[in-house]
Amino acid sequence: MPRKEIETFAVSWLQVLDETGTADPELDPKLPQETLLELQRAMVRARESDARMLRLQRQGRIGTFGPCTGQEASVCGPALAMAPQDWFAGSFRELGGRQIRGEPLTNTFLFHNGFEEGNVQPAGVTRLLPVSIIVGAQTLHAVGAAYAMKYRGEKACVVTFLGDGATSEGDFHEALNFASVWQVPVVFIVQNNQWAISIPRRKQMHCRTIAQRAIAYDMPGLQVDGNDVLGMYVAAREALDRARGGGGPTLIEAVTYRLMMHTTADDPSKYRQDDEVQQWWDRDPLVRFRKYLEARGLWDAQRQALLEAEVKREIDQAVQEFEARRDFPPDAPFDHVFGTRHALIEEQRAQFLADLRLGEGGHA
C-alpha cells in the first residue's frame, strides 16, 4: 500500500495597503469616506491617549499599563468592523478597540489608577468585557459567550484579542478546540507583536505562522499585515460575516509590533535592539493609513492638526474628570463579594471600617 497525501493545507496572507500606503485595487474594500475617517480618528485617538497615559504614569498619576502604540491598526480595524450587538473580549493592549466600543477614557484612567469603578461602563456601553490580565483566559469566555449567542439565536458574534505569547497557553488551544467543535460565532485575533515581554516569537513557538494553528482545529485562519488597518478591517469583516451566517470561528494572525515597553514596569532595552524597533517605526500603521487618505484627497496636514488638537482636548477633559473623582467608598469591595448579603461579609465590613478609623487616628 503506497503512502499517499491525504490532506494538504495552505496559509494565506492578506495585505490591502502596502508600506507606502498604496492599496491593492482588487483588495481595497472601498469603504465609505465616513468609515475611513472613523478609522483615522480611532487610531489617532488611541495613539494620543497612549502617549498621555505614559506621561501620567511617569508622573505617578496613574499606575501600570501596557501601551498599545504601533498596534492601533490591528485592533481598530476589527473593532470598527464589529456590529453593536457583538461582544468584545480583549486582553490588555486594545485601548483603541475599547474606545471604539464606547469605553470613556475616564474609565480607562480609573482602571489604571487602581479602581474597579473604571470597569463600570456607562449606559449604552455593553458587551465590552473588562481587561483580562491572565494571558489567554479570555478566549474561553469568548467561546462561552458565543455559545450563548448561538443558543439564543442572536445574530451576534464575539471578537477576542490575544497576543503571540498567549498562543502557548493551554486555554488558547482549548478555546480553539471548543469553538471548532461547537461551531460558534467567535473570531480570535492574535496580535503577533513579536515579543511576549522579553521572549521573542522564535522562542515562543517553532511554527512559522500563528495562522497555521487554525488548521489543526479545522477553522479558517489567515495571516494579515497587522499594521494595515484596511487589511485588518477586511479580514475581520469576512470572519464576522461568516460567523454570523453560521460558519463558525476564525483565527486571524495580525503581524504587528509592540513599539513601546510591555508595560510601564518593563525596560525593553534589556532584551531588544533599537534598530529593530526603528525598522518597525518605519512601518507605522498611522503613517501608512494617512498616506492612503492623503492620496484620496481626504486628508492633509491641516486636518491632521485639527484632529490631534480635538483629541487632545478630549483627553484633557477626561484627565480632569478622572482626577476630580472622589467617590470611592472604601468598603465597596464588601458590596460585591456576592450578590446576596451574608453575615460573615457584613461583620468583616464593620471590622474593616473600624480598622480604617483606627488607621486614620480615630477610635474604633
Q: State the residues that interact with other proteins by CB under 8 A.
A: 87, 89, 116-117, 119-121, 129-130, 132, 134, 137, 139-149, 151-152, 158, 170-171, 174-175, 177-178, 181, 332-333, 335-340, 342-345, 347
Is residue 233 annotated as a catalytic residue, yes or no? no
What are the grid coordinates assigned to 107, written together?
A: 474609565
Residues counted in the chain = 364
Residue 210's alpha-carbon distances to 31, 162, 180, in angstroms, are 28, 12, 17
Nearer to other proteins, 36 or 89 (CB): 89
Q: Among the options 52, 112, 127, 258, which is catalytic?
A: 258
Least distance CB 174 / other proteins (angstroms): 4
Q: Which of 58, 151, 271, 313 is catalytic?
A: 271
The nearest distance, CB 130 to other proteins, in angstroms, is 5
For the chain, the distance separating the N- and C-terminal CA atoms, rounded to the nearest angstrom, is 86
Tell me whether residue 119 or residue 168 sits nearer to other proteins (CB atom): 119
271 noted as active-site residue = yes
Active-site annotation holds for 342:
no
Please report how close the Cβ of residue 210 comes to other proteins at its closest, in angstroms: 19
User: Nearer Cβ to other proteins, position 107 or 204?
Assistant: 107
Select 102 or 144, whichever has its Cβ closest to other proteins.
144
Q: Kindly write down the DSSP assignment for every residue of 300-364, as one continuous string.
A: -HHHHHHHHHHHHHHHHHHHHHHHH-----TTHHHHTS-SS--HHHHHHHHHHHHHHHHHTTS--
128 secondary structure, DSSP code = B
Question: How many whole angstroms separate alpha carbon 262 and alpha carbon 197?
Answer: 5
Q: Report, in Å, the least distance between residue 186 CB and other proteins.
A: 9
Which of 262, 283, 288, 290 is the catalytic position? Answer: 262
- Minimum Å gap between C-beta 83 and other proteins is 15
Kindly tell me which of 130 and 220 has the beta carbon lying closer to other proteins: 130
Q: In what order do the strands lie in the sheet with 250-255?
A: 12-14, 221-225, 250-255, 186-192, 158-163, 87-89
Per the CB < 8 A criterion, the answer to whether 106 and 52 are in contact is: no
Give me the active site residues, please.
258, 262, 271
